[in-house]
Structure 1
Amino acid sequence: MSLFSDNIRFLRIQKNISQEKLATALLIARARYVKYESGTSEAPYDILKRISKFYHVSIDLLLNVDLRKIDMDGLLQLEDNRILLPITIDAGGENTIEIIPQKAKAGYLNGYSDPEFIEGLQQISLPFLKNGKFRAFPVSGDSMPPHRDGSFIIGRYVESLGEVRDGRTYILLTKNEGIVYKRLNKNGRNSLVLSSDNSFYEPYSVRASEVLEIWEYACSIATNEFEPDSLEPQSIRDMFNSLRNEIKALKHLQ
């Protein structure tokens, strides 16, 4: 028996539906479905899609996660049955805010869709954050002042690119870079322009197909007391811009 066959058997029993009725709903013969549940035959992609839509569970979870070990009610269903986002809830049924610590930042790219990974994260609750799913991400580097290393950005989950508003800041999970926090602008239908508030860093583009998650800025948590710099921010930016121009000029002379 495979993990997939265990999962579809578990889901069918949970739904209290017979193999015959389920096969009819999937538009296949019962004998064909029985082979998938027994693990003697692998389901093709079109059948995987039908099973995914029937149970409102993503194909990724059906194939890679033991659904018997997780709380199915703790998964957030998105529109059009596109995916199930693993979340955690408190004893009162309210969504909690999972915290991605710095040490788990790299692992989030592999664990973002794994309910067991999400369940193992620490959680907090902020009563003023309502109407959405929120998660806290660590800040790295100096590209998005005044946020510094050790701070956390709390983002609200964005379900579609159509919700992205030009000029606002977002946390993105991308296939190549992992977690990044940038100011976004839509560059046509298939790409996004990511800009830093520190002008020393050049904007760059990512394809929409590379984006796995988008979280809109909701609030931030500073873990260190703010210490003003000895130089004014504008003077620092001017210094870096001047240095950058000098470097570019030297490259042209080579």
Structure 2
Amino acid sequence: MEGIDEKITAIINQFHLNNFSFSKRIGVTGTTVDSIVNGRPQKDGTRKKTKPGYDVLTAIIDTFDINPDFLFGKSSTMLKSDVSNNQTYSGMPQVIAVNEIGEENVVYVPVQARAGYLDGYGDPEYIESLPSFHMPHLTNGTYRCFEVEGNSMARTFFDGDLVFGKYVEDLRDVNDGRVYVIVSKTEGVVLKRVINSIEERQKLILKSDNKDGNYPTYTINAQDIEELWSVTMYASKQMPEPMDIYDRLNELEHKIVDLEGELQRRTLN
């Protein structure tokens, strides 16, 4: 990861300046900038770089319209003016629920509440009106429980199943091929398998597990995403059908029992 000195050097180069002209623009001495970028000479012949203070960082951000996340290594987008063209994801759930002893609860979003959730996910009163419960083993994050609607994800998830999602703080952390609940004003609340194309195209690619042809793959822009939840657990009323091998073993077991009975009868005779 690049240090803040390298970030400042990149800004200097972006605006075709040298250390001295850059220092004049932000209102400090050339020596100050040089000590940050190149370091101060030490007795042993090495150079020790100075960490820029708050005033210097503020001056750089304000003077050159720099994206603060770029300086601190959280974004590759240097200029604030370019940020609007990239993701506007908040990075934190707007509202959480806690129980009486301060432990974070899992908020349950049933199908009939989805329309209201699109308008109320940031409204504390609305979130409080939804059912919530504590699950001790769901820790280290904020979780929501969503009821599955439809069969676009069959054979993995079915209508009426419950999926538990952990809030994703950064869209760049989306793992290809994993299942997520995506909340957006354009698509509503959807459950899809996701391919991450944030860095290249500022989009997520959404795929359905149902392959009957009625659920085409499509994309969603990062700027349209309100919330993203990584599915970590689910509960289903669907009981899996017995596997073929189970049927065969069951048939074999019956034949063995029949043979044992036949042998016993022959022995008695």
Unaligned runs of 5+ in 2: 1-88, 243-269
User: In the alignment, which residue of structure 1 is the partner of 2:142?
Assistant: 133
Which of the two has higher C-alpha Rg? 2
User: In the alignment, which residue of structure 2 is the partner of 1:245?
Assistant: none
Answering whether residue 121 of structure 2 is matched by residue 112 of structure 1, we say: yes
Find the aligned partners of 2:217 and 2:90 in 1 and give their Cα distance.
34
Q: 1:84 to 1:140 in 2, by over 3 A?
A: closer
Q: 1:225 to 1:161 in 2, by over 3 A?
A: closer
User: In the alignment, which residue of structure 2 is the partner of 1:219?
Assistant: 233
Q: Secondary structure at the match of 2:136?
A: coil
Unaligned runs of 5+ in 1: 1-79, 230-254
Give 1:178's match in structure 2, choosing from 169, 188, 191.
Answer: 188
Give 2:241's match in structure 1, choosing from 196, 212, 228.
Answer: 228
Answering whether residue 171 of structure 2 is matched by residue 158 of structure 1, we say: no
Large movers: runs of 4+ above 2 Å: 80-84
User: Following TM superposition, by how much is the alpha carbon of 1:178 offset from its aligned partner in structure 2, in angstroms?
Assistant: 0.8
User: In the alignment, which residue of structure 2 is the partner of 1:31?
Assistant: none
User: In the alignment, which residue of structure 2 is the partner of 1:102?
Assistant: 111
State the percentage of identical aligned residues: 38
Find the aligned partners of 2:233 and 2:240 in 1 and give their Cα distance.
20
Alpha-carbon deviations, 1:2-52, whole Å to 9, x = none? xxxxxxxxxxxxxxxxxxxxxxxxxxxxxxxxxxxxxxxxxxxxxxxxxxx
User: Following TM superposition, by how much is the alpha carbon of 1:203 offset from its aligned partner in structure 2, in angstroms?
Assistant: 0.8
Q: 1:207 to 1:134 in 2, by over 3 A?
A: same
Retained in 2: the 8 A contact 1:89–1:96? Answer: yes
Which residues of 2 match residues 140-155 of structure 1 at below 5 A? 140-144=149-153, 145-155=155-165
Alpha-carbon deviations, 1:81-126, whole Å to 9, x = none? 8666211101121100010112101111111111100011111222
What amino acid maps onto 2:133 in structure 1? I
Find the aligned partners of 2:163 and 2:180 in 1 and give their Cα distance.
9
For normalisation by structure 2, the TM-score amounts to 0.52
Find the aligned partners of 2:204 and 2:92 in 1 and give their Cα distance.
22
Retained in 1: the 8 A contact 2:107–2:132? Answer: yes
Which residues of 2 match residues 31-50 of structure 1 at below 5 A? none
Q: 1:178 to 1:120 in 2, by over 3 A?
A: same
Give 1:168's match in structure 2, choosing from 155, 178, 182.
Answer: 178
What amino acid maps onto 2:128 in structure 1? E
Retained in 2: the 8 A contact 1:154–1:218? Answer: yes
Find the aligned partners of 2:125 and 2:239 in 1 and give their Cα distance.
36
User: Following TM superposition, by how much is the alpha carbon of 1:149 offset from its aligned partner in structure 2, in angstroms?
Assistant: 1.4
Find the aligned partners of 2:116 and 2:241 in 1 and give their Cα distance.
33
Alpha-carbon deviations, 1:197-225, whole Å to 9, x = none? 11232211111111111000111122x24
Retained in 1: the 8 A contact 2:91–2:168? Answer: no
Find the aligned partners of 1:83 and 1:141 in 2 and give their Cα distance.
28
User: Following TM superposition, by how much is the alpha carbon of 1:146 offset from its aligned partner in structure 2, in angstroms?
Assistant: 2.9
Q: 1:139 to 1:81 in 2, by over 3 A?
A: closer
For normalisation by structure 1, the TM-score amounts to 0.55
User: In the alignment, which residue of structure 1 is the partner of 2:218?
Assistant: 204
Alpha-carbon deviations, 1:156-191, whole Å to 9, x = none? 001111111111110000111110010111222411
Find the aligned partners of 1:131 and 1:162 in 2 and give their Cα distance.
19
What amino acid maps onto 1:226 in structure 2? M
What amino acid maps onto 2:161 in structure 1? S
User: Following TM superposition, by how much is the alpha carbon of 1:228 offset from its aligned partner in structure 2, in angstroms?
Assistant: 3.4
Find the aligned partners of 1:92 and 1:115 in 2 and give their Cα distance.
18
